[in-house]
Amino acid sequence: MRRVLVTGGCGFIGSNFIHLLLAEEPDSAVINLDLLTYAGNPRNLEEIADSPRYRFVHGDIRDPVQAEELVGDADWIVNFAAETHVDRSTKESAGDFIRTNVFGTYVLLDAVRGTNSRARFLQVGTDEVYGDIPLGVYADESALPRPTSPYAASKAGGDEQALSFYRTFGTDVMVSRCTNNYGPYQYPEKVVPLFVTNAMEDEPLPLYDGGTQVRDWLFVEDHCRALLLLLHEGRSGEVYNVGANQQPEVTNAEVTRLILRALGKPESLIRPVEGLRPGHDQRYAVDCQKIRALGWEPTVDLEVGLERTIRWYQEKRDWWEPIKSGEYREYYRRQYGSGEAG
């Protein structure tokens, strides 16, 4: 049995990855180490919670004692645990981003080294580390990180920690850098689930800065398949970009209109807002030839993926309605200046 330590497995991408791994790799068993911060939700895994191939450990990647205990037994380690929301990293202190995304990654890596583990360590990263990319340019893995937000800078720091362990100690490390994900279980502070659930409730969709920005939206399951492939076939010490390479590229305004159209809601729900995202990157775009050469390609078109995502949020009101109260409501009021979270 292959033992896979997943960190942050109660979050959006982590939980999708665990579902896929358990479904597709019958010889794998998962330990999910998760701190259950606001974005971690054990309900994301309730269908597999009783599986003999699944174990949940409530804990913190920054705890070296626990890290050593868990890392020592693992064959694969997939590090999803991270603070991820750009707006939180600019509006509030980014200290938690640094503590989790940089220091936490270091603690895990150091536990691998300290236990002489031969585990593969996959650091799950973001294309945001490359910063704003001019039209017509695609950042490949040799591009220097030029992160804009404190969030992106913290992820770049984690990536560099991981790569330094390969270079210094020969730790079996890889870094993936994926474009924007969307799909089931995404916390509704991110633009796709925020706009889907607000539109369902006839609440305004706060579209930032004219909506001209370009993101390369990838359905989360395609991302998770890329990660599985890397764990099997990726080369140690390497960085791999993962993206949809959407052609033509789509702006935030276009994604917003697709969502409204799919839900049969009017464009008058769009509420243009300016200045909520200082340093707002205009465009992200990555060259994905390296992972495509391993045999991966995206399989879910944006319109199909959005329809699947929308259907999921329509069927899972009991998942997101409780989230859109409590801490979320307070966050929403601070960010958008209204207590109404939809």
Q: Which residues bind ligand TYD (CB under 6 A)?
A: 86, 128, 180, 190-191, 194, 206-208, 213, 215, 252, 277
E strands, 215-324, are 218-219, 239-242, 270-273
| Closest CB 262 distance from ligand TYD, rounded Å | 17
Q: Which helix (H) or strand (E) holds 29?
A: strand 28-34
Catalytic-labelled residue, pool 130, 151, 166, 331: 151
Nearest to ligand TYD of 231, 255 (CB atom): 255
Catalytic-labelled residue, pool 128, 172, 216, 222: 128
Residue 39, classified by CB atoms within 10 Å of its CB into exposed (0-12), middle (13-18) or buried (19+), is: buried
CB atoms within 10 A of CB 215: 24
- In the chain, the amino acid numbered 200 is M
Cβ atoms of residues 193 and 44 within 8 Å: no
- The question of whether 315 is a catalytic residue gets the answer no
| Closest CB 176 distance from ligand TYD, rounded Å | 15
| Closest CB 77 distance from ligand TYD, rounded Å | 24
Nearest to ligand TYD of 150, 206 (CB atom): 206
- Whether the link from the prior residue into 298 is cis, omega within 30° of 0, is no
Nearest to ligand TYD of 85, 290 (CB atom): 85
β-strand pairing of 270-273 with 205-208: parallel
Nearest to ligand TYD of 215, 223 (CB atom): 215
| Closest CB 190 distance from ligand TYD, rounded Å | 4
Nearest to ligand TYD of 33, 143 (CB atom): 143
Alpha-carbon distance of 299 to 219, in angstroms, equals 9
Alpha-carbon distance of 328 to 342, in angstroms, equals 11
CB atoms within 10 A of CB 30: 24
Alpha-carbon distance of 214 to 72, in angstroms, equals 42
| Closest CB 140 distance from ligand TYD, rounded Å | 20
- The question of whether 128 is a catalytic residue gets the answer yes
- Residue 323's closest CA among 16, 14, 36, 39? 39
Alpha-carbon distance of 233 to 231, in angstroms, equals 6
Nearest to ligand TYD of 229, 276 (CB atom): 276
Residue keyed to tokens 């944006």: 302
Catalytic-labelled residue, pool 34, 60, 127, 203: 127
- The question of whether 203 is a catalytic residue gets the answer no
Nearest to ligand TYD of 210, 326 (CB atom): 210
| Closest CB 114 distance from ligand TYD, rounded Å | 33
| Closest CB 209 distance from ligand TYD, rounded Å | 7
- Residue 76's closest CA among 162, 172, 167, 159? 172
Q: Which helix (H) or strand (E) holds 182?
A: strand 181-182
Alpha-carbon distance of 131 to 177, in angstroms, equals 12
Catalytic site positions: 127-128, 151
